[in-house]
Chains A and B, each alone.
Chain A
């Protein structure tokens, strides 16, 4: 029952992704390749569809709550889509084993991010907009305490560069790239964490779309695999987002960070041909 296996992998990815603020690609790809024996390119194509589904689903909620900075998102999308096309075109020509090894680097970075993540909190006077070419300032109401937060965006050139990298990663390896964009938006561009997470999720749909089109055209999208992945990840994300208040964030993050390191080691062994998978 491969179909059941795919659905389980996608559901787990969706639940954990929502709990930890990830798109889920970082879980879908090792699940499909290591546990179920799919090829890297097929897994990446399916993962991109899952990532589009879960990020669009999350964006529906975030846009309604007003956390998404649509203008900032669209500006950074110019860079993420460019990166995604380059990444996807490189991936369709790369060797599977090399892709697996590259993916393990992302897993290690993801683990580091899980184990150390710091949120930068700004005082109101730090959030004032600098006068610049584009007005990206935005306002939202924090649902937790009802306070209105108004912030101006700084250093958008750094943000564009980071987005190019995040997009490249998305196209090359089928992840959303939130692990790069969210910290950069928060730490460099002075965007509050909630807005950074929401805007990153909002952007992933368009980014993954640019990559997914390339995978479709080069014949790496299996409709059944992609359909099951998209449904599973979105279903899991809906459940996971309801659990965020129940589960203790800190301990999940640490367990997950350690798990990612273990999976990274398995992906390297697979890439080097030492580990035989099903």
Chain B
């Protein structure tokens, strides 16, 4: 089935790039945290992450790596969604949108 093969190839690339980039960021960040005297070790809120990155705070690099790691499976759903759309596979478009909806719910839900 050619559609299955195309899906596998694209998804493979997305996952591979995500893992390599996130591990590189986390690795460099951890190394710098260990070698920089009094480097911060607390979680930086996402609002101030960009500033912390610009200020070369090592822990911000670790956090960015963790965010890339979290984003990798997410990007994989988006990729599948695009492929389902080009194939006009409506049932699976709905399924992919539902999974994305649940992830978005995790971001906003408050109890």
Contacts and interface: CB of A to CB of B under 8 A. Distances in A.
Contacts of A52: 69-70, 72-73
Contact of B66 (A74, A81, A226): A226
A231 B55 CA distance: 24
B8 A223 contact: no
A75 B95 contact: yes
A81 B23 contact: no
Q: Is the interface of B mostly helix, strand, loop or mixed?
A: helix
Interface in B44-103: 44, 59, 62-63, 65-66, 69-70, 72-74, 76-77, 80, 91-92, 95-96, 98-99, 102-103
Contacts of B33: 224
Contact of A223 (B23, B66, B102, B111): B66
Interface stretch (A18-26, A53-61, A185-193): A53-61
Given A63-B8, A224-B41, A213 B103 contact: yes
A123 B7 CA distance: 27
B11 A70 contact: yes
A68 to B, nearest CB: 7
B82 to A, nearest CB: 13
A70 B8 contact: yes
Given A70-B80, A139-B4, 10 more contacts: A49-B69, A56-B19, A64-B12, A71-B92, A81-B99, A81-B103, A139-B1, A209-B73, A221-B43, A230-B69
A85 B102 contact: yes
B105 A85 contact: yes
The 8 closest A-B pairs by CB, nearest first: A205-B73, A81-B102, A213-B106, A227-B62, A206-B73, A227-B26, A63-B12, A210-B106
B69 A85 contact: no
Interface residues of B, number: 49
A227 B12 contact: no
Given A63-B8, A63-B12, A227 B102 contact: no
A222 interface: yes
B27 A59 contact: no
Interface of A: 3, 49, 52-53, 56-57, 59-60, 63-64, 66, 68, 70-71, 74-75, 77-78, 81-82, 84-85, 88-89, 133-134, 138-139, 205-206, 209-214, 216-217, 219, 221-224, 226-228, 230-231, 234
Interface string B1-23: 10011011001100110110011
A219 B46 CA distance: 12
B79 to A, nearest CB: 10
B70 A209 contact: yes
A275 B69 CA distance: 36
B95 A210 contact: no
Residue with the greatest number of chain A CB neighbours at <10 A, chosen from B44, B62, B96: B62
A214 B95 contact: no
A275 B55 CA distance: 44
A221 B91 CA distance: 36
